[in-house]
Each structure stands twice: as structure tokens, then as C-alpha cells.
Amino acid sequence: MNSVLICNPDGKLLLSRYFEAQSHGSECAFEPSSGGEHTAAGSLRDTAKGRSSTLSEVLGQTRHLWTKGTSECPQVARAKGGLIIVFGAVEDLLLFLCGSGECDELTLADMLATLAKVIVALCRQGGKHQRATETAFLSSNGTSSIYSKACLVIDEMIPGGILESLDSDAILSSIKLQKPTSAAPVAGSKKGR
């Protein structure tokens, strides 16, 4: 697995996750949508160049197919270096999964279907019935955002770039964030004040 990219319909990057260390520095990390990096200063320029190059390549190879991406079938494109790009539209978001070597088109398509199903389910949680849009993806519902849950979903599905799970129900149940119960006092607080 090379990377997972989530964009709006205009190609603005909302979330990216890079896995292959040889092409993107030594760390596997999420790249925040704000463009800020959380890597060591020495490798920042090289890592940013590699990630920017991958993003440019993915968007360049697929942009002419985006209107077709609204179909039920995932679209497939190839990029330089044997990179396989499988992408599709999930309501108002574009999901791109990139891989090479053992990660073929069929595996990427299965991963895309699972990720799409989970993102739609996250948007529908809490009875909101929101569409998967940029606003819904980046907004917070008080405790967490769909963006932060999507990061957890990707880590649950593909830890370290290796496919772990395609069971959307199991992924959704494993990422549920528990709120502290009001019955248990918080450490250091005094009840009754």
C-alpha cells in the first residue's frame, strides 16, 4: 500500500496517509489538511516533495476520469513507477487508494468499498443523516470529527500499510470513542463542588 487520499470534488486535499517509507521518508504519518507537517525538520523537505509529487501524480492521472468516478464501479489508473490508483466518489468526496507490488487493483477496490461504506456510516451517525461532504468531513460534533475517526479507520484497516481488515462493521465498532461516564469522578476532582 502506498497511500490513501481523500479530496473534495475540486481536488483539494482533505486527508492523506502515506505508507511506503522508501518513497516518502522514514515515517508513516497522516498529513493534516492544513498543510502542517509533524515530521523531523531534517526530512521535512524531502518528505513534503515526495508527498506533493505523489499527490500531483495521482490528481494528474485521474482528473479527466472524475466525472466517471460517480459510478458504482471504482475507477483505475496507472502512474509512473508502477503505482496503481483506484478511486471513486463517495457522495461529495473523492477517495484515492494507491498501491504497487502485492497491492493490486482488486485489493485496492475492496479497500475502497470498505472505506467508502465506513465514511458514509460515520456521516450518518447520531441521526444526522449528513451527506459525505467536505464540511461534514472536517466539522466537529463536540467530541470528535469525521476526519479524526477516518484517521482511526485507516489505521484500523491498514496498519503500517498492510491490509488488516475489510469488515466495515468490525472497523466501526472498534473505533467508537467512549465518553467518560458521569458516575465515575474525574481524578483530582471533588464531588459536590
Structure confidence by residue, pLDDT tens digits, 115-140: 999 999 988 876 666 788 898 888 87
CA dihedral 15→19→114→64, nearest 10 degrees, is: 60
Question: Does residue 190 lie within any of the structural domains?
Answer: no
Report pLDDT for 182. Answer: 38
Percent over 90 (pLDDT), the chain: 28
Q: What is the CATH number of the domain that holds 27?
A: 3.30.450.60
Question: Does residue 146 lie within any of the structural domains?
Answer: yes
Number of domains in the chain: 1
Closest CA to 155 of 8, 22, 30: 30
